Structure 1
Amino acid sequence: MDSGVDHLAVPFAGAHDLAARLEPALGTALTAGDPVLAVLADPERDAVSALLGPDASRVDFADPVRVHAVPAFTVAVRWARLARQAVAGRVLVIGQHLQLPDVGVEHWARLDLAIDVAIEGLPITVLCACPDSDPVIGVTHPQLLTADGPRPGPGYRPPPEALVEYPPPPPPHLGPADTDVAFRMADLSAVRRRVAAAAASAGLDDDRADDLVLAVNELATNSVEHGPGAARLQLWATAGSVIAEVADRGRMNVPFPGLVRPSSSGARGRGLWLASELTDVLQVWSDDEGTVVRVRME
């Protein structure tokens, strides 16, 4: 398969139909020795495994519930990271749109749009297995991989244009924070100390604690440098987990925060990119009331 497009929907009518649609791409990847990640429901996983036979052991079958327990943008970031970390070859990711607990239909739309942004220029192909009755797969995929070969997605719109119809869910309420302080530029060293203390109380190892401190420092610095000059830090620490939140009264006009690697010729976007790379989850909410950036480290 060489469509010139790295992200395609694969409409299918049943598990065996999907396996047959995927067989050419899987065969090419496995013959080349490329990494393959498949995130499929049990019937589709079993059909693919049966089709591949012994070669199925060379596919990394991941649990969809675990993969999609994080926000859609985080899933896209993690798949793009697979491609950047690959020693050689081209990564193949097969992901299935499913009904999962606490995962709404907007998750899949946001994931599809984020994939287009996150994987641009990377050695990766993402095939999204979607029921052939899904009326919006053509809107969020540049191409469909049909029985007759690739064809353009009907109604496809560029990610920044389509994203406005799929806003992120509101920030989950976390209850009273363990730390809740206002800060300015002169207070950044105190911000770092507070984050380090929260990481220690949660039992994070030294490397992950250092990464969290660096990530929050980048966010806090961005907030006071490019925002209104004053911001708020909140921290929640539990056994093995820290959530840090930086909020200010400015508005961030970045449709895909943390997904796009900043240009080597400039520093803009570096803070969000680093924070996304250094932590387990990064989420951003921004409107006329202000901007909230939340990261999680476990």
Structure 2
Amino acid sequence: MHEAFFYRDRAALSAALLPRFAEAFASGQPVAVVARRSRTELLQGALGSDAGRVRWLDMTREGRNPTRLISGVLGRFADEYPDRRVLIVGEPMWPERPRADYAAVVAHEALINVAFADRELSVVCPYEVSTLPAHVLQDAARTHPTVVTSEDTWASLSYRDPVDLAMSFLSDLPEPESVPERLTFGAYELAQVRQLVYAHAVLAGLDSSRRDDLVLAVNEVATNTLVHAGGQGVLRVWRETGRLVCEVSDQGQVNDPLIGRHPTPVASRAPQQQGGRGLLLVNEICDLVQIATASGTTVRMHMNVADD
């Protein structure tokens, strides 16, 4: 069950969710809330002593890369209770969220319907209608089979095929804001890939651990290109406002819409899903990952840096 909950203000949010929490507690369902700190503090205060029965997670940290949410947050929590339905309240959008994240947020919301189609999972996604733009609410209705307000519940007439919708948001990645440095690489240029990424990470001011993380992430994706996509790819690196971006593209064809997102433990994945292991690591490391598979495969990795 995947619901978009449209609420007007903080009071309406707590008034609507408290009965859902009480119902879950009564039926023995584990509950997690993944939201901005202001919303978790609101709900904790409303729950009082029952707040200790909820797993509280900060969406600005756990969901800074929306592409990791299915595997690293929702799936991980559900996997702790394989024989029980769980309730997850996840706040995907708020006004201050960077615009660059939006396509990945919509794709994430759509693909929840695919990833958990056969799982005992209830996901409620709050959207504050008084602060979010109209197009965000329209897209929420397209990604959620059910829409809920304080007054009513209905099947969304705008709901779209989740894979088609996700791919439509990820297939047309915007061109870089600045001219990227470009390197065509094969098996003998993998060291050059790492050196180029490291040099840009130094210039961007990333600390040593973040530099190493970014080099590792790009190396994982470039290695996937060499092994699974004909042995040649293109690396592009550029700066955007507040971010360093590395992109690896190749001619490989991916038919799995959940590549890099599978919520099941790695050890239990089917052989055809093993190519996504490196992407799971990449999703954990980077601040935003965009995976486009409409024409070849493009993996765009973002790391936050201090603004100039």
TM range (shorter): 0.5 to 0.7
Q: Which moved more, 1:163-172 or 1:215-224?
A: 163-172
TM-score by length of 2: 0.65
Matched, 1:127 2:124: yes
Selected match of 2:291 from 280, 284, 291: 284
1:213-232 equivalence runs, <5 A: 213-232=215-234
Matched, 1:39 2:39: no
Selected match of 1:79 from 73, 92, 109: 73
Matched, 1:110 2:107: yes
Residue 17 of structure 1: aligned partner: 12
Selected match of 2:270 from 264, 278, 286: 264
Q: Deviations over 1:108-159 (max 9, x none)?
A: 5434213334555667542112468955644321334567997644343331
Q: Does the aligned pair in 1 maintain the 2:245–2:303 contact within 8 Å? A: yes
- Aligned partner of 2:20: which letter? A
Aligned-pair Cα RMSD in Å:
4.6
1:50 positional shift: 5.0
Selected match of 1:204 from 197, 202, 208: 208
Q: Deviations over 1:147-191 (max 9, x none)?
A: 7997644343331133355446634626456x7432112333454
Q: Does the aligned pair in 1 maintain the 2:71–2:262 contact within 8 Å? A: no
Count residues in correspondence.
Answer: 285
Matched, 1:294 2:294: no
1:39 positional shift: 1.9
1:43-58 equivalence runs, <5 A: 48-56=43-51
Higher helix share: 2
Matched, 1:140 2:143: yes
Distance in 1 between residues matched to 2:277 and 2:106, nearest whole Å: 26
**CA pair 60-41 structure 1, distance change in 2 beyond 3 A:** closer
Equivalent residue of 1:269, what SS?
Answer: helix
Residue 163 of structure 2: aligned partner: 160
Distance in 1 between residues matched to 2:75 and 2:290, nearest whole Å: 17
Q: Does the aligned pair in 2 maintain the 1:10–1:21 contact within 8 Å? A: no
Distance in 2 between residues matched to 1:195 and 1:295, nearest whole Å: 11
Q: Does the aligned pair in 1 maintain the 2:40–2:56 contact within 8 Å? A: no
Q: Does the aligned pair in 1 maintain the 2:88–2:123 contact within 8 Å? A: yes
Equivalent residue of 2:271, what SS?
Answer: coil
Equivalent residue of 2:249, what SS?
Answer: strand
Where in structure 1 are there 5+ consecutive unaligned residues? Answer: none
Distance in 1 between residues matched to 2:245 and 2:174, nearest whole Å: 12
Distance in 1 between residues matched to 2:55 and 2:275, nearest whole Å: 38
- Aligned partner of 1:247: which letter? S
- Aligned partner of 1:18: which letter? L
Equivalent residue of 2:224, what SS?
Answer: helix
Equivalent residue of 1:215, what SS?
Answer: helix
Distance in 1 between residues matched to 2:249 and 2:20, nearest whole Å: 44
Distance in 2 between residues matched to 1:151 and 1:285, nearest whole Å: 32
1:45 positional shift: 6.0
Q: Deviations over 1:78-107 (max 9, x none)?
A: 533652685898462332654446449766
Distance in 2 between residues matched to 1:282 and 1:105, nearest whole Å: 12
- Aligned partner of 1:281: which letter? L
1:282 positional shift: 1.7
**CA pair 34-219 structure 1, distance change in 2 beyond 3 A:** same
**CA pair 257-61 structure 1, distance change in 2 beyond 3 A:** closer
Distance in 2 between residues matched to 1:105 and 1:297, nearest whole Å: 16
Q: Deviations over 1:227-273 (max 9, x none)?
A: 353222345699xx864322335565554442235733333434433
